[in-house]
């Protein structure tokens, strides 16, 4: 397992193989953190609109990604 600090450093690598792999890992981490925070906000009673405004997306897009019945496969963090 690679430390998050190492992944950030690798994202700036001159080697595209290393850099792109790091970018993919960062995307997966970001997606996992976003999902966690959206679920937590909903559990605390936040509206889809409130969450969408904080994330800078439409509430329709947010609800489509995380709403009831929407199942996004969890991405494995490398």
> How high is the pLDDT of residue 6?
86
> How high is the pLDDT of residue 2?
66
What is this structure's pTM?
A: 0.75
Q: Note whether residue 74 is domain-resident.
A: no
> How high is the pLDDT of residue 19?
94
Four-residue CA torsion sign, 27, 32, 33, 37? positive
> How high is the pLDDT of residue 8?
85
> How high is the pLDDT of residue 76?
58
In angstroms, the CA 56 to CA 51 distance is: 9
In angstroms, the CA 64 to CA 62 distance is: 5
Q: Note whether residue 17 is domain-resident.
A: yes
Q: Note whether residue 75 is domain-resident.
A: no
Query: Treating both helix axes as pointing N-terminal to C-terminal, what angle do 4-11 and 16-43 enclose, rounded to 10 degrees?
Result: 130
Two tokens at 48? 């889809």
| Structural domain boundaries enclosing 16 | 4-66
Contacts of 31 (CB under 8 A, 6+ apart): 75
Q: What averages of pLDDT result for each successive group of 10 residues across the chain (78 residues)?
A: 79 93 93 96 96 96 86 57
Q: How many domains is the chain built from?
A: 1
């Amino acid at each position: 397992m690679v430390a998050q600090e190492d992944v950030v450093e690798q994202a700036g690598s001159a080697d595209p193989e290393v850099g792109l792999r790091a970018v993919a890992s960062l995307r997966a981490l970001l997606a996992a953190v976003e999902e966690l925070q959206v679920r937590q906000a909903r559990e605390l009673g936040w509206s889809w609109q409130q969450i969408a405004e904080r994330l800078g997306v439409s509430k329709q897009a947010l609800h489509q990604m995380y709403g009831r019945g929407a199942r996004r496969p969890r991405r494995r963090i490398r």
